[in-house]
Structure formats: C-alpha cells, structure tokens
Structure 1
Amino acid sequence: MKTSLFILVCLILSGCSREFVEGMYDVDYTPSNRFAKNLAPLPGQYQKDTDALDNLMTQFSGDIAKRWGNDDIKMAGAKNYVKYTDDYLNRSNIDFDNGTVTIETIASTDPKQHLRHAIVTTLLTPDKPGNVDLFSSKEIALGGKPFLAGQVVDQNGKSIEWSWRASQFADYLIAHKLQKRQVDFKTSYYVTIPMVKNHSKLRSYQYADIVRKASKKYDIPEDLIYAIIKTESNFNPYAVSWAKAYGLMQIIPRTAGHDVFNIVKGKSGMPSPEYLYNPANNIDTGTAYFYLLEKRYLKGISNPTSLQYSMISAYNGGAGGVFNTFGGGKTSAINSINHNQPSQVYWALTKKHPNAESRHYLEKVTRYKKEFHAMK
C-alpha cells in the first residue's frame, strides 16, 4: 500500500486543499454523492462550505496517522477492504488477493473487548457497499446477509451468518489465535482469519445473473466480463481506487462512466460513486463501455480476436494506448492491426505498449478469461 501511504502523507502535508481532494476522490459536493451524504449532516452542506470538507478530510487522514502512526497507514483499495471503527482504534483489513481477514485494535483499555466487537462487526458487515463509509470511523449498521458469509468459516467449519455464531467465533479467536505487535509505541492486538480457498469463486457466483444479463444486452462474452472483474477488483464490491475508480469493474465516473451515460444511455452527467457501488449498475456500465470500445473507439479492426485483445488493453490504458502501440494515428494503427495476425497483435500489446501496467493487464485478463471459460 505504498500508494495509499503516499496519498495520506500528501493529504496531511498539503493541508488537504479542495482541489487535491477533488483530484483524488472525485468529490462533486452534491447530496447524491456517497461521500458527501456520509460526511454532511445536512443535505448540500458542502456545496457552499468547502472549507468544512477540507477540514473534515484533513481530520480523517490526521486521525489515522495519530492513532496508527505514519508507518502503519492502510487504506481501502481495489482488492482490499479497510474499515476503521471505534474512533479509529479498531481496523479491519480484508486482503482479497491473499485471502486473509486481519482485525486489530490499539485500544489501551480492555483491548480484548474492543477486538471482540471489531471481529463481530467485520464478520457481520452486510453486503451493502453504498452504506459502508470507508473514509471515516463511522460504525457499520448491521443487518441482512453478511458479505463474508461462506467466505469465512468458524472453528467448526460453519459459515458465519448470525450474531451468536460470530460472537462465539470471536471468543474462540481471542482465546486461541490472539497475536500482538508494536504499532507506533502502542500494542496492537490482532487476529488473522484465513478465507476459504474458493472465496473468489464464491463471490463471483453472486453476480452470475447480472453478468449474464449484461452479456446478452451488449453482446460481450461472459468469460470476458468475469475476467475483467477478477483483474480489477477480485470481486470486491467495496473496491475503490486512488485513481477515482469505483466498484467491481473499477469504473471512473469522469471517463468511462461519462461516456456510457452520454453515448449509450442518453443521460447527461456521469454516474455517482453511490450508483457505481450497486453491482448491477457497475457491471452494466463496465460492459457497456466494452460495447463502446468495440462499436465506436476501435471500430474497423476486422479480426474478432485482435479486436478483443485491443478492447481489453484499451479498458485499462485507453484506445489511445492501443493506437500508440501500432504507430499513433487511429487509421494507420487500425490498418497495422489488420495486417497482423492476432498472435502478433497480442505480442505487440504485451511487449510494446507504452504503459507497463497495460502490458501486464492484457496478460492477466487473457489468463483469467481462459479459466472462466473452462468453468462453463
């Protein structure tokens, strides 16, 4: 999380100007915005009082550093869920790539009780991303099916879906799995819970109907949609990125979201984070953007396999990155792509693309696509 640490240090040192916050978090100050709604006790408060938002964001970053120190700051990302509670004394960190849930407290008074509460809260956190404020220590309203149901099991191998089972498991963890470490001259009491081996597949199953519907609607292969979600967020519905991307398919409102709203859906403006934290909206928007790439931005590529390679690359690095790989201009680049075999197009996009992330992105998506195709 070096990037997250950099962002928070910048927040602290820069005084967290409005321009810096907007640039990092895409805040639009309207009551429909998830962050504005969670941060403002009165609707529209920060439309006029931008200094109040500056102060609040500075306080948020400062409270984390004050509690945990500058060397142990963790923030939510695309493939990890991080939530602070209890005035920043408790922290939950779900690492979806490594399949671990780490819950810890630095409370100095009755730390085991604080940790127990944090464990129960984490295990029972509902599958409602829009209702969980990742950028404060606000408590989570529990209720409904837990997000981690089936993905974490207790000492008896049972799924945790009820408060009594979560409480019993918390007691077991504290009695048998409790660990300690030093955090900024404080003692952290923590437990690490392994997720079940197929936790990623279990999350993917939740979205089967949504993926199938989007696939039929936009004529985009289901295995491609699954592969993109796996690559972008590993099926983390709480995914948020410093690059201002939200949700399962990591949609950036100002770019892909804006284009889908304006061109495909005939709507003005762009989707809010709250809109994109709805899995159905997110997958529909991401798949619609693939439709745009296929029918508009990369139109003219004749070979369907070459077109798909180009679409995958463009989802990460933009159509311009694809064109730059093959000469720069759209027309000449498409002509060059059409004069190459699909294997040559793949080689160029994974070896010569100007952006290293985009080169690796195509490799990962292609690999995951084969895995999901084999699961059919």
Structure 2
Amino acid sequence: MKKAWLIMIAGLIATGCSSSSQPECIYNCTPTYPNNGNNNHGGGINTGNMTNEQAIKALMAYLATQAKKQWGDDEFLQAGKHRYVKYFDGYRTRAHIDFDSGKIYVSTVAQYAPEATLKKAIEETLLMPADPSQVDLFSDKSIPLNGKPFLLGQVKDHDNQDIQWPWRAGRFADYLIENKLRTKPLKRGTAYYVEIDMVSDHLEQREYQYADLIKRASRQYGISEDLIYAVVKTESSFNPFAVSHAGAYGLMQVIPKTAGADVFKLVKNKPGIPTKDYLFDPANNIDTGTAYLHILQTRYLRDVRNPTTKHYSMISAYNSGTGGVLSTFDSDRQRAMDKLNQLQPNQAYWALTNKHPKLEARRYLEKVLNFQKEFQSL
C-alpha cells in the first residue's frame, strides 16, 4: 500500500502541482483570509456595518468562492441546518457530517501528500470539541482539540471503541486510509476520501448531550420538554453547528434580529440582539429558542382561546412568525384572530398545513407534531 501511494504521489506531483519548487502546505497552514480585518470568525471579513443576514451571506459567499477554486462548482458543499461542513488546508480538505443519514465524509483534493492531509483532517473531525465557538465554519482555520469531543459516542473505531483521545483517533485514521480509502475523479483532478458510519443511535447520543439544558429551559418557561426536543430535531437534527442563509444559528435555529431581539427585550431586559457566538452556545441557544416559544404562547398568540389551536399556532409561528399564521386566515390581524377562534383545532390544523402562505411552514407544523409524538412516547 505504501509503495502504491509513493507512485501515486509522484505522478500527482509531476502532473498536478504548481511549477514552484516549494511544495504546497500539507496542513495547519496559515489560514486563508480575504483581508487583514480583526474579526476572529470568517477569515477576517469586516461585517461590522452589516445586518446579521447580510453578514452571514457575506461569510458564506466568501467561503463558497474560496472552496469552489479548489473543488469546482459541482463538488462544492456548504454547512447548513442538518449538515456540518468544515474546510481546512487552503480549502483543499473538508469534513462533511450528514446528520440525517448518519454519515461522515473526510475528503481532500490536495495534490501533495494527500494521505497525511487526510489523516490530520480525520483526527480533527473525530476530536473536534463540543463547544461550537471553537470551530470556525467560515474559514479554513484548524480546530483546537480540547475538551470533550462532540462526536464521542456517535462514532466507534474499528475495534468498536469510543474515540476520545488523540492516539485512538490517529490509529483509526491510519486504519481508514489503509483499508477504506476511495478516490473520485473531478474536473480538476482527483478527490481522496474516506466514509465513516456513525452509530445507529447517533441522534439519541446527541439528544443526551442537551437533556439537562432542555429540562432547565422547560421548567423556566413552561414549555413542554417534548416540544423543545421536537423543535430542535426539526430545526437541526441536534446539530449545534447549524447555520442557514437566513442568518439562523444553532440547535433551535434562532435568528438574532427577530426571535433573539424579542427575547432580549421582552424576557432578558437586555439591549440589542444576541451575537452569532452567543447563539452558537448550546445553553444560550436552547434558552433563547424556548423563551421565544414562551413569548409566542403568552404574548403574541395569547388571544387564541383553544389550547390545542394555540399549540398548533405557536409551532407554526416559530417557523414563519405570528404574521404568517394570522395571514392564513385573513389579511386583517383582528379578523384573522376572530376567524381562528371560531375554528375547531382540527380545522385550524388543516388551514395551517394547507393554506399557510409559505410551503415550508405548512410542512414544518406537521414535522414538529410528528416528532413531538415520538418524544412523548419515550
């Protein structure tokens, strides 16, 4: 195997590398930044004068530009609500976790020493900390390996053991490269990658990590635990690194300028809006998301008389806002509330899942309620 790699690397160097006599950086290179700004997240992009939505779009756009230079448009991947994607090494290497399918892919298009590059990326992925603030999704910065690994219990090595320490992660990486390495031809060369299966109950393993936080928020705001669990599963599949183009962050996909601002003003008595780093913290995120459900229940939708109808309405409003819920019934808010109160819960449910102005919101209510039933049966 080693001999084959030496032959492969020699061929790659001859055909694919730069004409420079200096080999390209293998790993832990100086991070690639667009400018010399002082922002610690997103490669130094100056987002100080942008709204949150503008800032997240700018960060994602910059990352996309850099990654596409290495991977091309067809193979580009970006982090999302149910998908973790982290680039390294001048954007030539990436880790991709699909939380819905329970698969981890670590890949590189590096032309110099891809084996060593892959090993380092596998180790960083397996040992990345549970604290999302330590992981910059918007640049190619390395991940500091400290604290309890986020994937602990969600992945087993080839000896069916948990992976908590660097020596075990390195050993497993060697095994994967020796036995599971795959290649894929790309328009710009060859990608080298390994695929790692997560354990069958990986979702439950992530749920356990946040059980205490959910219980605390439930007691504080009077929102049932099963509803909080259902919202988190719908929004992120318990992915604390979740981001969206709308500028939502974390487990419950809180948008700072809407739900976040309301919670700061109406519950926390704080000025301004929560920051990205604040919302990437799982404790803050679950607290803020649950507090917003409390606001919907006790303030914005307090005039909904039937408790079941109110429950349906607040779930729908978490996704699309109170205005979206009321516009399902009438363009005038007061008339809409009156019409809503005249309906039976099953009629309100039908309207919200068939007549809501946004298709996503129609499906959202159905998903959350189905997940809520699952958590109620546990």
Q: TM-score range by the shorter chain?
A: 0.7 to 0.9
> Match of 2:28?
none
C-alpha distance in 1 between matches for 2:192 and 2:87: 15
Alignment of 1:241-260 (within 5 A): 241-260=244-263
1:99 aligns with 2:102: yes
> How far does the alpha carbon of each residue in 1:249-296 deviate from its partner, in whole angstroms, 9 at most, with x for none?
000001110111011111110000110011111111001111111111
Q: Which of residues 342, 353, 363 in structure 2 aligns to 1:360?
A: 363
Separation of aligned partners in 1, 2:212 and 2:46: 39
Q: Which residue of structure 1 aligns with residue 329 of structure 2?
A: 326
| CA distance in 2 between partners of 1:240 and 1:325 (Å) | 28
In 2, Cα distance between the equivalents of 1:368 and 1:352? Answer: 22
Corresponding letter in the other structure for 1:215: S
The residue type equivalent to 2:215 in the other structure is R
Q: In structure 2, which of residues 90, 94, 115 is the aligned counterpart of residue 87 of structure 1?
A: 90
User: Which residue is 2:134 aligned to?
Assistant: 131
2: distance between equivalents of 1:301 and 1:54? 36
Aligned equivalents of 1:265, 1:360: Cα separation in 2: 31
Q: Does the 8 A contact of 2:226 with 2:376 survive in 1?
A: yes
TM-score normalised to structure 1 length: 0.85
Tell me how far apart the structure 2 counterparts of residues 62 and 243 of structure 1 sit (CA, whole Å).
19
Q: What are the superposed Cα offsets for residues 61-112 of structure 1, whole Å, 9 maximum, x if unpaired?
A: 3321111112211111111110011111110000101110000011111211
Of the structure 1 ranges 178-187 and 75-84, higher mean CA displacement relative to structure 2 is found in: 178-187
Q: Which residue of structure 1 lines up, in the alignment, with residue 295 of structure 2? A: 292
- SS for the counterpart of 1:38 is coil
Q: What TM-score do the two structures reach when normalised by structure 2?
A: 0.85
Q: For the aligned residues, what is the CA RMSD?
A: 2.2
Asked whether the 8 Å contact 2:43–2:139 carries over to 1, the reply is: no
SS in 2 for 1:188: strand
One-letter identity of the residue aligned with 1:88: Y
Partner of 1:370: 373
- Which whole-Å CA distance do the structure 2 matches of 1:180 and 1:323 have between them? 52
Identify if the C-alpha distance between structure 1 residues 38 and 321 changes in structure 2 by more than 3 Å, giving closer, same or farther: closer
Q: 1:104 to 1:337 in 2, by over 3 A?
A: same
Cα distance in 1, alignment partners of residues 128 and 139 from structure 2 = 16
SS at match of 2:91: coil
Return the match for 2:162 from 159, 164, 167. 159
Choose the corresponding residue for 2:347, options 327, 344, 348.
Answer: 344
- Asked if 1:217 is matched to 2:229, the reply is no
1:325–1:354 Cα contact (<8 Å) kept: yes
Report if aligned partners of 2:43, 2:138 keep a CA contact under 8 Å in 1.
no
Q: Aligned residue pairs: how many? A: 337
Larger gyration radius, structure 1 or structure 2: 2
Q: What's 1:6 paired with? A: none
Measured in 1, the distance between the counterparts of 2:232 and 2:206 equals: 11
Q: Which residue of 2 aligns with 1:76?
A: 79
Q: CA deviation at 1:55?
A: 10
Find the counterpart in structure 2 of residue 12 from structure 1.
none
In structure 2, how many angstroms separate the alpha carbons of the residues matched to 1:188 and 1:64? Answer: 14
Q: Deviations over 1:186-219 (max 9, x none)?
A: 1111011111111111101111111111111110
Give the letter aligned to residue 207 of structure 1: Y
Distance 1:170 1:47, change over 3 A: same
Alignment correspondent of 1:316: 319
Q: Which residue in the other structure is 1:233 paired with?
A: 236
- Alpha-carbon distance change, 234 to 55 in structure 1, aligned in 2, over 3 angstroms: closer
Q: What one-letter code is carried by the residue in structure 2 that aligns with 1:349?
A: L
Of 186, 189, 208, the match for 2:189: 186
